[in-house]
Amino acid sequence: MEEFRPSSYQEYGGGDGGRNLEIIDGNVLKYVHKPCYASTYPPPFDHHHHQKQTVPKKKKKSSSLSIKSWWNDPKMKRKMRLTGYKMYAIEGKIKTSLKKAHKWIKKKYRKALACLLTIQVVLDLGYRDVVIEGDSRTIVKKLHAQNEDGSVISAYITDAKSLSEICDTCIFKHVLRKENGLAHLLVTEGI
């Protein structure tokens, strides 16, 4: 287990107050959403209004009418993106891990959104001293920059900066993906 922990979890002390939170690079999963139809119990049988129900016959589809609507297109259903989070205390004990799926989020926005959602999770759990690690050097540089760059992810970066000001201490740190092993394993294997 030691080889999966980033080296930075030992650097930031402070007893129970020291927390470390990682942004996990959620790779695009080949996930196809299949509708699920479920019912708890059938409706009660009504003797007064009982009528024989007729089942409508299915019409045959002709080959010329086999054009699918954009909503049922399998390529659109594979647009599911996954972001994973793992939070652990300074001792290395995992406190929280979760995955969140986002539809319609492009790959270039995913890491910035992951940073924003990470800060929201931290604040919801009540932690105020955190270190947020991520393997995207671009995102970490933009979080440290004083001015807005006007990129497509600047809205996420601005929101992340404003939320991080609520924390007492919020440090953004870049880590290599190989140091982020357990976090990467969490996303890829679904642990």
**Span 153-169, average pLDDT:** 91
Task: List, in order of start, the domains of the chain with CATH numbers.
Answer: 17-29+70-189 (3.30.420.10)
Residue 145, pLDDT > 90, answer yes
| Segment 27-75, tens digit of pLDDT | 433 333 333 333 333 334 444 544 555 555 555 554 444 444 555 666 5
- Condensed to tens digits (0 to 9), the pLDDT of residues 103-142 reads 666 766 778 888 888 888 888 888 888 888 887 888 889 9
Cβ(134)–Cβ(22) below 8 Å:
yes
Asked if residue 115 lies in contact with residue 135, where contact means CB atoms within 8 angstroms, the answer is: no
168 and 128 Cβ atoms separated by less than 8 Å:
yes
Res 149: pLDDT: 82
Token pair 């891990």 is found at 97
Give yes or no for residue 160 having a pLDDT over 80: yes
Distance separating alpha carbons of residues 88 and 159, to the nearest angstrom:
24
- What are 23's strand-pairing partners? 85
Sign of CA dihedral 180, 186, 189, 191: positive
For the chain, give the mean pLDDT.
65
Q: Would you call 169 exposed, middle or buried from its count of C-beta atoms within 10 A (0-12, 13-18, 19+)?
A: middle
What pTM was estimated for this model as a whole? 0.50
